[in-house]
Each structure stands twice: as structure tokens, then as C-alpha cells.
Structure 1
């Protein structure tokens, strides 16, 4: 009887411990490697939602000038000089469901903002999707740090 009780307690602890582990792994906070492997983005909670900032680049310097890579595709000349490292890609993405957020995302490759959805799709995977009108695309980022 005592052995059965100990087994039951162990099983209950495992059963009730599992959801919290799952909820923790579904958190978008952390550092993520883009699908192309050319940048890392630090995602954190902010303003009731999530924010993402570039914290690492595979090629941090412009090969032509030797200067830090900049937001050169931005149509605003003042912003086109800002460095890519430290550049916010999204601010205040708001929750739209469990492990899902929606808002605007900046694409430094073309200097434009897009409607976007972000969702945690696995313990270490984050799906980023953006749309312009009916044209949509996306990529999957991989967690590289908490």
C-alpha cells in the first residue's frame, strides 16, 4: 500500500509538472537564429506583448566600406545610417492566442514594415510570418539562447 502510494505520488508529480514545463518552453523570450542563419534576434516581453531586436549578424560589417552594417535600405535617410545590430524588428506585438502574437515587423532587407504573426511552434522553434496584401511568406527561427 505504501509503495502504491509512493508510485501514485510520483506519477501525479510528473503529470502536474509536465504542463508547467510545456508552458515554459512555449515562451517566445530568448535569442533566436533566423532561418538563413545570418542574424540572431533577442525576443523579450514588453508593453504587454513581445519585442525583437537584432543582437548578432553573421556579417556585422559592410564589406565595401568596412563600417558596421547599417539599415541602408530604409527609405528615411536619417534611419538608413543606424547600425543593424541593436535595430528593433518588432515592438509590442500583441498576444492573439496561446503562444501567438500579431503586429508589425520591419524587414531590413527592403526597409519596409509588414503585418506579421509570430507563434511558438515547438520548444525551440518560432514561426515568423508576414503579409503584404494577399502575398504572405514566412520562416522558422531556432532558439539559440534563453
Structure 2
């Protein structure tokens, strides 16, 4: 009887070890190229939640790489550089969707947001006002 339980435990552990790579590939963490192809957003842990920071420009903004957050409604934040700011913040998993907030530096507005992994290399990012959502497809950076 004990050998049977040990064998079952070993099989269970083996099965879990075999599924770990599949779970890791389902992560939203990593570097993502925005739909417009103008920037890379790095998604990862930020305290108890997940956030996405503007990591790299692929197209230089109008005021250069030191572009400031000039459209921010908070006048105190308009002098900060865009590079490095969290455009995705407070994301927590909710089933297959992650929910949080998205900031659009082009308009200075924040929206309720949902992020979902469509494949290991495709991320659906939505910003929503009430029931109206607008989405983008981001691609995992190589």
C-alpha cells in the first residue's frame, strides 16, 4: 500500500514538473512591442501587482528620447520623462484576463484596462470607458 502511494506521489510530481514550461509560456511578463511599433513596454511585477513600463523607443518621439509627459493632467508630473513610466499599472489576474489601469501619454488620460494573452507571442490590450473598449494587439519582442 505504501509503495502505491509513493508511486502516485512521484507520478504527480513528475506531471507537475512537465507542465511548468507550459505555465511559464502563459505569462504576460516580458517585453512587448506596441501595435504602432513605436515602443517596447516591459511588463513585470510591481509590488503586489503587475505593471508595464515604457522601456524603449523604437520610433523617436517628437521631442527626442527625453520626451516629457506634457499631456499629463497633473501639472507636477508634466516634467517627468516618459521613458520608464508605468503605462500599465495595478494589474491583477482575473481568470484568463488581467485587470488594471492603462495610461495613454499621448492624451494624458487613464482608463480601466484588460490584458489577455492570445498566444505566447500575442497580447490583447484594452482600454475601457464604461462599456466601450478599444483594443490593441501587442507582439512579444524578440
Deviations 1:70-111 (A, max 9, x none): 11111222211211111111222111014x210111111110
**TM superposition score normalised by structure 2:** 0.80
**TM superposition score normalised by structure 1:** 0.78
- Cα RMSD after superposing both structures: 2.1
Structure 2 unaligned regions, length at least 5: 1-13
The within-5 A match list for 1:8-87 is: 17=18, 19-63=19-63, 68-87=66-85
**Contact 1:71–1:79 (8 Å) recurs in 2:** yes
Structure 1 unaligned regions, length at least 5: 1-12
The count of corresponding residues between Structure 1 and Structure 2 is 128
What does residue 114 of structure 1 align with?
111
Provide closer, same or farther for how the CA distance between residues 104 and 116 of structure 1 changes in structure 2, counting only shifts above 3 A: same
Which 4+ residue blocks in structure 1 deviate beyond 2 angstroms? Answer: 19-22, 46-49, 58-63
